[in-house]
Chain A
Amino acid sequence: MSSEIVKIPAGKGYYTDFQLAIAMVFIAIFMILLQYLGSLPAWLYRVPEEIIPNFAQWLDVIFNFVKDDLGVLVFTRFLTGGLEWLLDFSANVFFGKRRFPNVGPMPWTAVAAVAAVIGYYLGGWKLALLGGGTMVWTALIGQWKIAMQTMSVLTIAAPLAFAIGLSLGVAAWKYPWVDRVIKPILSVLQTLPFFTYLLPAVIFFKVGPTAGAVATTIYAIPPMILMTTLGLKKVSSEVIEAGKMSGCTRGQMLRHVYIPSARTEILVGVNQVIMLCLAMVVLTAFIGMPGLGAKLLAMMGSFKLGRSFEIGVTIVLLAVMLDRMSKAWVIKQPEHFERGTPLWKRHSMLLLGLAVFVGFTLLSLVIPFLAEVGRGQNFSQGKELDNIIKGFLNIEWVKVTTGFLRAFLNVQVLIPFRNFLLSIPTPGFILLVVAFALSIAGRKEAIFALIFFSLVALSGWWDRAIITLYSVISAVILAALIGLPVGIFAARSVKWSERVLLICDTAQTFPSFVYLIPAIMLFGITDIAVIFSILIFAMVPLTRYTIEGLRTVPQEMTEAADMSGATRIQKLWSVQLPLALPTMAVGFNQAIMFAFFMVIIAAFIGTQDLGQELQRTLAGTDLGKNFVLGICVSLMALTFDFTIMKWAADKKKMLGLA
């Protein structure tokens, strides 16, 4: 398979990358034609079963060795003890699990009031309303307990991820070798499907909240490391020198100079940790973690769309609240008090928070409704919403549209496309991918593509990998068809740019899981629903980076175009789009990464791709297979990531934008 590639440069001397790529495409086409004519030998169509190495079994052997012989399991189970204690503690405080310290649960009114005070402290009335409002909604809709189950894990996992991420970030900044070790691990971790985090967590840390907390923590660590290193590197040299001239020891430098000066980046890291934790904690429902995710899973499974929708709203509100508050914290700067301000005034917010907490707690002793919204007291409208949704779907034009999309798109476009991809012989497919990487990025990326896709071929999961890829590609193309025009349109005015960017920002904070809700609502449990959920998820970065790319085109250039007498369309095509392209490529890349992420979650709806198999492994303890599948997804994602990012970087350099 690889012999063709090697032969060409060796035999005839020098070829440009582009010529090589063309040659590969021709060979691939030739193979496809042979396949259609029925004269391609079977061993060239798919890697024969006999020679597929049993990676899963090897990995199992390694895992078992690590787990049992090295005694790691004993160690992790020991850690489990401590973590379990912490989780029980927060579980008691948040929703009254009968464990030490046996004081909980906190009355919902008290929590809501404190959320409002924190919101007010960080960002004034708007955030106070958001914080308090979210909590009141959650309680009144009857989801207080499950929401607090989620929050109780979040309050343990997020600080843990913060602490670990910060320490690793500092280490990576201080010791170059740590940086060199961590970097490749981080890029794999960031493309690894989340199911791959879950199973090891279950095996090493038991089912339930503990495993959920571990998976969540690990999932949220990478951005914290990156932001910490970034922040520390950005501390101005004069501040560092001022610290040294003040006679700081190394420890003092870190504690008093570096970390406080990197505050902004570190807090941005905190924001990302919180958001990723929330996204993941919802997904840990798949390994039996109770909370909002589990409830949503159950409701969607039994097609109770009204209730699903309500839970979705709760998750979204929580996400937006946490995001806005942590972002407000990033930009909040210390203010001085006038001399002689009394102590109580300096700490007025803290005191107010305590006062409302104590006040509402006492009040709830008298009025039980303020402590807990009982069964039957909530305002959930699940059934009514169900009817509304059904009514909406039965409106003639809606029915026609979804029906048409389902019939036409699926039967005429998507399924033929999928079948075509599946019909391409494995070596031909790899050649096409390598040619793609070679022509737009370079030889290094092409070699990575070759190695990565060959590994996928050897994993024995080729067909499912192709179906995964098919979902990703079709969803991203469809997302581009909608997202790019929206972005281009919005970029025409400042007002619309801001509006659409705000929507994108907000949408990006939603845990991916909630994107399934509208998809199922509109299309039921079908292939189209899968594509649709990926599509809306992937559209967000596409639109966002299109706007950012177009808006950051230097003004002189658009003015020069205007003065050259370009029409709007001419300006767009020959000035703005070429200059915005590198930025848009970053958005495109992110859309692909998001799509890989979502396609795995969409397995819940029922697909035939790697996600489905991955989800199945969770039921057993098929650790080896779980890893093989996860790494297949990661390898495919990394191929695109390397190639597109390299292209964008080259292009930026060429245009002098970097």
Chain B
Amino acid sequence: MSIDIPVISCKNVWKIFGPDPKKFLNNMSDDMTFEEIRAAGYISGVRDVSIDVNKGEMLVIMGLSGSGKSTLVRCFSRLHDVTGGTIAVEGQDIVSMSENDLIELRRSKMGMVFQSFGLLPHRTVLQNVAFPLEMRGQDKHTRRERALEVVKLVGLEGREDYFPRELSGGQQQRVGIARSLAIEPDIWFLDEPFSALDPLIRKEMQDEFLRLQQMLNKTIVFITHDFDEALRLADRIAIMKDGAVEQCDTPDQIVLHPATDYVRKFTEDIDKARVVHAGVLTQKGVVGEGDALDAMTTVHDMARMLVNDSREMIPVKNGDSLIGAMPRKDALDILLGSEKNEF
């Protein structure tokens, strides 16, 4: 498969809940707002969303509860049938896919982690993890072997025979993660996987998750309502409100150039210095003086240097090659707030 076909590509996707959503969508005028649709007795879970997810990318979908993020992901995996629009997974149209093909797709390509874990209470850790393998008819021996492997991967060795109710929340979610990885999926959906955990465990699980992702390098759609989590993990963030995507961009761009008031409100309290990288502030072709900075350095990390340095333009390198230079003032503005904001 060529690298430039997106893994998931959705165009003008609508998901409407109500008595006869298909008919409603066909007769509806394009500019109806969320409230107008609701007044008509329908709920627009997803409104006209077009988004691509590229191979190996981590797309974080972010929004408050009821913004439609979970619904959108359930459309990607066709846990929900969409009302309008098209969704293609690796070039295959999944909207019109037959039930058998869909089951086959899920058995071979998709894994999903749920907010409240969704573990089967009557099965042990090992049996839960082996469940997807069992469903696709793998023999007992191989599925046990594979399940043991994944259980070890998520650090639950020695608890294979426990039942979900005998584990803590964090451990239960590790089981959920292990189960979703058992079939070695190409696409990994995570629906607020850490929201049900307390803050300390959440941090630990995020680190664990990043470690896994570095090892596995999967295409990921990750849902969260926690902006810090989104910034920490994402390659790109899609911010949703009332079922529609307000902005979909890299964390730096969202923080620096919020597209709508709604996004701006979201980003207001964010410490931009921890998000913005040198690479984003770099002006191409401009030559600076002295030692070069790495493009991945955040403003926060270079703070001490920024204050002590006196250069106007600081050169930036990506790996070993120079890509341009960054105006020190721009970086300082981000660190301290721009001058006019001071008064």
Highest count of chain B CB atoms <10 Å: which of A243, A247, A333: A247
Taken residue by residue from 253 to 268, chain A's Cβ proximity to chain B (1 for < 8 Å, 0 otherwise) reads as 0001100110100000
Q: Are B122 and A247 in contact (CB under 8 A)?
A: no
Residues of B with C-beta under 8 A to A339: 158, 160-161
CB A90 to nearest CB in B, in angstroms, measures 29
Residues of B with C-beta under 8 A to A243: 120
Complex Cα distance, B106 from A247, in Å, reads 5
The answer, yes or no, to whether B116 is at the interface (CB within 8 Å) is yes
Of the candidate stretches A202-210, A234-242, A496-504, A569-577, the one touching chain B is A234-242
Residues of B with C-beta under 8 A to A333: 163, 165
Q: Are A245 and B135 in contact (CB under 8 A)?
A: no
Complex Cα distance, B103 from A239, in Å, reads 16
CB B223 to nearest CB in A, in angstroms, measures 13
The answer, yes or no, to whether B136 is at the interface (CB within 8 Å) is yes
Complex Cα distance, B124 from A333, in Å, reads 12
- Asked, given contacts A238-B116, A333-B163, whether A245 binds B122 with beta carbons under 8 Å apart, the answer is no
The answer, yes or no, to whether B296 is at the interface (CB within 8 Å) is no
The answer, yes or no, to whether B35 is at the interface (CB within 8 Å) is no
Q: Are A241 and B79 in contact (CB under 8 A)?
A: yes
Q: Are A261 and B120 in contact (CB under 8 A)?
A: yes
CB A430 to nearest CB in B, in angstroms, measures 41
Complex Cα distance, B107 from A249, in Å, reads 10
- Asked, given contacts A260-B120, A260-B122, A336-B124, whether A241 binds B114 with beta carbons under 8 Å apart, the answer is yes
Complex Cα distance, B338 from A614, in Å, reads 94
Q: Are A261 and B132 in contact (CB under 8 A)?
A: no
The answer, yes or no, to whether B54 is at the interface (CB within 8 Å) is no
Q: Are B163 and A242 in contact (CB under 8 A)?
A: no
Chain A, interface size category, equals 20 to 34
- Asked, given contacts A236-B118, A247-B132, A339-B158, whether A241 binds B74 with beta carbons under 8 Å apart, the answer is yes
Complex Cα distance, B74 from A279, in Å, reads 49
CB B28 to nearest CB in A, in angstroms, measures 27
Q: Are B161 and A241 in contact (CB under 8 A)?
A: no
The answer, yes or no, to whether A248 is at the interface (CB within 8 Å) is yes
- Asked, given contacts A247-B106, A248-B135, whether A239 binds B158 with beta carbons under 8 Å apart, the answer is no
The answer, yes or no, to whether B112 is at the interface (CB within 8 Å) is yes
Q: Are B132 and A246 in contact (CB under 8 A)?
A: yes
The answer, yes or no, to whether B77 is at the interface (CB within 8 Å) is yes
The answer, yes or no, to whether B60 is at the interface (CB within 8 Å) is no
Complex Cα distance, B112 from A337, in Å, reads 29
Residues 87-136 of B contacting A (Cβ, < 8 Å): 103-104, 106-107, 110-112, 114-124, 131-132, 134-136
Q: Are B166 and A245 in contact (CB under 8 A)?
A: no
Residue of B nearest to A237 (CB): B118
The answer, yes or no, to whether A244 is at the interface (CB within 8 Å) is yes
The answer, yes or no, to whether A334 is at the interface (CB within 8 Å) is yes
Residue of B nearest to A249 (CB): B103
The answer, yes or no, to whether A49 is at the interface (CB within 8 Å) is no
Residues of B with C-beta under 8 A to A50: none
Complex Cα distance, B111 from A246, in Å, reads 7
Of A238, A245, A256, A336, the residue contacting B111 (CB under 8 A) is A245
Residues of B with C-beta under 8 A to A396: none
Complex Cα distance, B337 from A536, in Å, reads 81
Taken residue by residue from 291 to 329, chain A's Cβ proximity to chain B (1 for < 8 Å, 0 otherwise) reads as 000000000000000000000000000000000000000
The answer, yes or no, to whether A348 is at the interface (CB within 8 Å) is no
The answer, yes or no, to whether B179 is at the interface (CB within 8 Å) is yes
Residues of A with C-beta under 8 A to B116: 236, 238
Interface size on B, residues (CB 8 A): 38
The answer, yes or no, to whether A556 is at the interface (CB within 8 Å) is no
Complex Cα distance, B257 from A514, in Å, reads 81
The answer, yes or no, to whether B262 is at the interface (CB within 8 Å) is no
Complex Cα distance, B136 from A257, in Å, reads 15
The answer, yes or no, to whether A54 is at the interface (CB within 8 Å) is no
The answer, yes or no, to whether A335 is at the interface (CB within 8 Å) is yes
Residues 211-254 of A contacting B (Cβ, < 8 Å): 236, 238-239, 241-249, 252
Complex Cα distance, B79 from A376, in Å, reads 70
Residue of A nearest to B106 (CB): A247
Q: Are B131 and A246 in contact (CB under 8 A)?
A: yes
Residue of A nearest to B136 (CB): A247
Complex Cα distance, B45 from A257, in Å, reads 27
Q: Are B131 and A256 in contact (CB under 8 A)?
A: yes
CB B178 to nearest CB in A, in angstroms, measures 12
Complex Cα distance, B114 from A378, in Å, reads 63
Of B106, B160, B166, the residue contacting A244 (CB under 8 A) is B106
Q: Are A337 and B161 in contact (CB under 8 A)?
A: yes
Q: Are B117 and A238 in contact (CB under 8 A)?
A: yes
Q: Are B118 and A247 in contact (CB under 8 A)?
A: no
Residues of A with C-beta under 8 A to B107: 246-247
Complex Cα distance, B77 from A243, in Å, reads 13
Q: Are A245 and B112 in contact (CB under 8 A)?
A: yes
CB A490 to nearest CB in B, in angstroms, measures 34
Q: Are B117 and A246 in contact (CB under 8 A)?
A: no
The answer, yes or no, to whether B266 is at the interface (CB within 8 Å) is no
Complex Cα distance, B110 from A338, in Å, reads 33
Taken residue by residue from 333 to 360, chain A's Cβ proximity to chain B (1 for < 8 Å, 0 otherwise) reads as 1111111000000000000000000000
Complex Cα distance, B124 from A338, in Å, reads 12
CB B211 to nearest CB in A, in angstroms, measures 23
Residues of B with C-beta under 8 A to A242: 112, 114, 118-120, 176, 179
Complex Cα distance, B165 from A261, in Å, reads 13
Complex Cα distance, B132 from A247, in Å, reads 7
- Asked, given contacts A247-B135, A336-B161, whether A239 binds B112 with beta carbons under 8 Å apart, the answer is no
Residues of A with C-beta under 8 A to B160: 339
- Asked, given contacts A246-B135, A248-B135, whether A239 binds B118 with beta carbons under 8 Å apart, the answer is yes
Complex Cα distance, B334 from A215, in Å, reads 82
CB B302 to nearest CB in A, in angstroms, measures 43
Complex Cα distance, B120 from A246, in Å, reads 12
Of A241, A248, A263, A336, the residue contacting B112 (CB under 8 A) is A241
Residues of A with C-beta under 8 A to B161: 336-339
Q: Are A238 and B114 in contact (CB under 8 A)?
A: yes
Q: Are B122 and A334 in contact (CB under 8 A)?
A: yes
Residues of B with C-beta under 8 A to A249: 103, 135
Residues of A with C-beta under 8 A to B111: 245
Residues of B with C-beta under 8 A to A236: 116, 118
Complex Cα distance, B178 from A246, in Å, reads 12
Residues of A with C-beta under 8 A to B123: 260
Residue of B nearest to A248 (CB): B135
Complex Cα distance, B119 from A243, in Å, reads 9
Complex Cα distance, B106 from A263, in Å, reads 27
Residues of B with C-beta under 8 A to A256: 120, 131, 134-135
Q: Are B120 and A239 in contact (CB under 8 A)?
A: yes
Residues of B with C-beta under 8 A to A239: 118-120
CB A340 to nearest CB in B, in angstroms, measures 10
Q: Are A335 and B163 in contact (CB under 8 A)?
A: yes
- Asked, given contacts A256-B120, A256-B131, whether A245 binds B103 with beta carbons under 8 Å apart, the answer is no
Residues of A with C-beta under 8 A to B119: 239, 242
Highest count of chain B CB atoms <10 Å: which of A248, A249, A252: A248
Complex Cα distance, B156 from A91, in Å, reads 51
Complex Cα distance, B75 from A421, in Å, reads 65
CB B110 to nearest CB in A, in angstroms, measures 6
Residue of A nearest to B114 (CB): A238
Of A245, A252, A335, A338, the residue contacting B79 (CB under 8 A) is A245
Residues of A with C-beta under 8 A to B74: 241
Complex Cα distance, B105 from A244, in Å, reads 11
Q: Are B114 and A247 in contact (CB under 8 A)?
A: no
Residues of A with C-beta under 8 A to B135: 246-249, 252, 256
- Asked, given contacts A238-B115, A239-B120, A261-B120, whether A245 binds B106 with beta carbons under 8 Å apart, the answer is yes
7 closest A-B pairs (Cβ-Cβ)? A247-B107, A242-B118, A238-B118, A246-B132, A336-B161, A245-B112, A260-B122
Other A-B pairs, 6, CB within 8 Å; known A246-B107, A261-B120: A242-B119, A245-B111, A247-B183, A257-B120, A335-B166, A337-B161
Q: Please name 6 pairs of A and B residues whose Cβ atoms are closer than 8 Å in the assembled complex, sorted by A.
A: A241-B74, A242-B120, A246-B179, A247-B107, A247-B135, A335-B166
Chain A residues within CB distance 8 Å of chain B: 236, 238-239, 241-249, 252, 256-257, 260-261, 263, 333-339
